[in-house]
Structure 1
Amino acid sequence: MTTALRIPPLRTIVAICALGGSALLMTACSTTTGSQAEAAEAAPTTASPTDTASPSPTASLTKDQMQRRDLVSKTKVSWDKAAGTAVKEVSGGKLMGIELKAASQENSASPGTASPGTASPGTASPGTASPGTASPSSPAPAPSPGSPEWQAKVAAADGTVHMVDVDAADGKVFRNQAQPGQSADDRRKVADRLRKATQSPAQAVKAATDKKKGTVTGAMLDESDGKLVWAVDVVDTKDWKKTTYDVDAASGKIAREHTDQD
């Protein structure tokens, strides 16, 4: 007797095919996911250029700090040489102050006329005039606007204050003018102040630079808390910040210090 071959129902065949397809799809997905993970592990990590870029040194400086950097970098004549030149321009001159500044348009356009009573050439320490017979001198051409200059205040023997400007690049005097409107009482006060300042500007600068190394950009005879002091400005050429030291003009001790963060 012949046994007939039984064919499964159509729904059974479809179900078997569906199960087989699902198994193949899961295997393919698993293989793809594994390959992607392996590729991600194998790929080197690259940092974004913006993550490692360091800020520009110029970008971190303030406007005042950039101005100090520009002035100091262009200055060829130190404060003491400029001071020595300035006091020689005034008969019996004594330094009352000196400061590094940018030349103004006014000074550059019309250099001052040297006043009568300038001392003859010679060597002088800052704060004292060289001996000799006073004689007038002709001012040198003024530096261009923005160039560094030393602005000095020098007192004559009678207490008359002169404004003496020295080119910070070549050391030449381009202006020497007596301060206008000085009365006899004003001159007496100036002479009295200088008499009480037993510490020279050079001694005050040494006291300041012993405390902090840097470039001296100013030394002015002033008053602080009722005391006569030399206010000495020292610029740190690493960060271009300025520190002012008030040095007691009688004892030579530092009474106060202040760092300008701008």
Structure 2
Amino acid sequence: MDTKSDEIPSRRDRPPLFRGTALVCVAAAAGALLTGCADDTGGEAARSGAAEAAQVAATSPTPSADANLTGDQRERKELVPKAKTGYEQALGAAAGAVPHSKPVSVELKGPPDSPRWEAEVATDDGTAHTVSVDAVDGKAGKERAKDQDSDDKRELADLLKKATVTPQQAAQTATGKTKGTVTAVELDDTDGGTPKWSVDVVTTDDWNKTTFDIDATDRKILREHVDRD
């Protein structure tokens, strides 16, 4: 009996193998569960961060196209669309304010909130008058006589007599070459004394200004210059 008791240990004295194994399994399962939760949390955070970044990108303001425009281009973009009256109407209104006069020049000017056409007309003897025409309603203001001496009048009268091409015809020649809005027309002379019309055309896709010098006797284009400033 004593020998048997020494050879076979009691249940109470046996090492707790099964309890240790169970604890290891429980710990492993808990670790796996925590790992799974961590993976889910990390994935959810990543998805949330991506969604937030996409939302910020969608709502962030895009760079303005005006940032690429020069100062002059920006001024044209602000001014030209505000003019509801074209150069032809402005010249007609100015000529109507001075009896028996012919158009000499017209130019669109600002500011954008009150655009106007500054026109010049002259009678056959070369006496010139300036007239401001509202670029919105087309109404002409009071005419003002220009300060001229006898030579100025004679030279202008000579140009008007030689110019057989009208400003409207010159503008049609210019816009036939470059589509856009006419913002200025002016009668002048070449170095050889031949009259010419200088016509400014603004293209509304890039707000550049192209100046055409057009022979006032045969409508030939003498010069073309693009102002990208």
State the TM-score, normalized to the length of structure 2.
0.72
Mapped pair 1:216 → 2:224: no
What is the number of equivalent residue pairs in this alignment?
218
2:204 maps to amino acid = T
Q: Deviations over 1:166-203 (max 9, x none)?
A: 000111112310002x2222211111011111111011
Aligned partners of 1:197, 1:60: CA distance in 2, in Å?
40
Aligned partners of 2:151, 2:83: CA distance in 1, in Å?
37
2:123 maps to amino acid = A
CA contact (8 A) 2:82 2:113 kept: no
Match of 1:184 in 2: 150
Shift of 1:221: 0.7
Aligned-residue Cα RMSD (Å) equals 4.1
CA contact (8 A) 1:153 1:164 kept: yes
Q: Pick from 72, 75, 79 the counterpart of residue 87 of structure 2.
A: 79
Mapped pair 1:205 → 2:205: no
2:117 maps to amino acid = W
Mapped pair 1:150 → 2:158: no
Once the two structures are superposed, the pairs formed by residues 217-232 of structure 1 within 5 Å of their partners are 217-226=183-192, 227-232=194-199
CA contact (8 A) 1:91 1:157 kept: no
Shift of 1:54: 5.0
- SS of residue in 1 equivalent to 2:142: strand
Match of 1:249 in 2: 216
Change (3 A) 1:102 1:253: same
Aligned partners of 1:225, 1:244: CA distance in 2, in Å?
17
Match of 2:159 in 1: 193
Mapped pair 1:66 → 2:32: no
Structure 2: unaligned runs, 5 residues or longer: 1-49
Once the two structures are superposed, the pairs formed by residues 45-64 of structure 1 within 5 Å of their partners are 55-64=63-72
Once the two structures are superposed, the pairs formed by residues 107-186 of structure 1 within 5 Å of their partners are 147-180=114-147, 182-186=148-152
CA contact (8 A) 1:97 1:218 kept: yes
Aligned partners of 1:189, 1:255: CA distance in 2, in Å?
21
Larger Rg over CA atoms: 2
Aligned partners of 2:114, 2:101: CA distance in 1, in Å?
26
Q: Which moved more, 1:77-86 or 1:220-229?
A: 220-229
Aligned partners of 1:228, 1:245: CA distance in 2, in Å?
13
Shift of 1:147: 1.4
The structure in which a higher percent of residues are helix is 2
Among the aligned pairs, what percent are the same residue?
A: 50
CA contact (8 A) 2:165 2:219 kept: yes
CA contact (8 A) 2:88 2:168 kept: yes
Q: Pick from 77, 96, 104 the counterpart of residue 96 of structure 1.
A: 104
